[in-house]
Amino acid sequence: GENVEQHPSTLSVQEGDSAVIKCTYSDSASNYFPWYKQELGKRPQLIIDIRSNVGEKKDQRIAVTLNKTAKHFSLHITETQPEDSAVYFCAVTGANNLFFGTGTRLTVIP
């Protein structure tokens, strides 16, 4: 199956700074790359996604970049706010099912 690696596992930033989380994957046939935000005890919430025919996508303070050649994609959060604190998971899909990264616990320090 797909092998998804996510770094870093924990990340602390000052409010207003940017945060970057990176994921690498192994299956070159993968074509859909979502990012999920999960607050404690709650379901993962899709925050942004990108498909293989696009290199970058932005939605307000959140952006995702994809490098298919290198098989990695990154989540960028700018102007971080305390409410951005959560665990973020990247995921990769090829044949319909999702394979998740190990998660990054982001803490935004006020």
Partner 1 sequence: GAVVSQHPSWVICKSGTSVKIECRSLDFQATTMFWYRQFPKQSLMLMATSNEGSKATYEQGVEKDKFLINHASLTLSTLTVTSAHPEDSSFYICSAHQLQGDGETQYFGPGTRLLVL
**Is the Cβ of residue 60 or residue 96 nearer to partner 1 in the bound state?**
96
Contact 106, 87 (CB under 8 A): yes
Q: Rounded to an integer, what distance in angstroms lies between the CA atom of residue 29 and that of residue 83?
A: 35
Which secondary-structure segment (H or E) carries 62?
strand 62-67
**Is the Cβ of residue 51 or residue 58 nearer to partner 1 in the bound state?**
51
Contact 18, 101 (CB under 8 A): no
* Contacts with partner 1, residue ranges (CB under 8 A): 1, 31-32, 34, 36, 41-46, 49, 51, 89, 93, 96-103
- Give me the least distance between CB of 43 and partner 1, in Å please: 4
- Give me the least distance between CB of 94 and partner 1, in Å please: 11
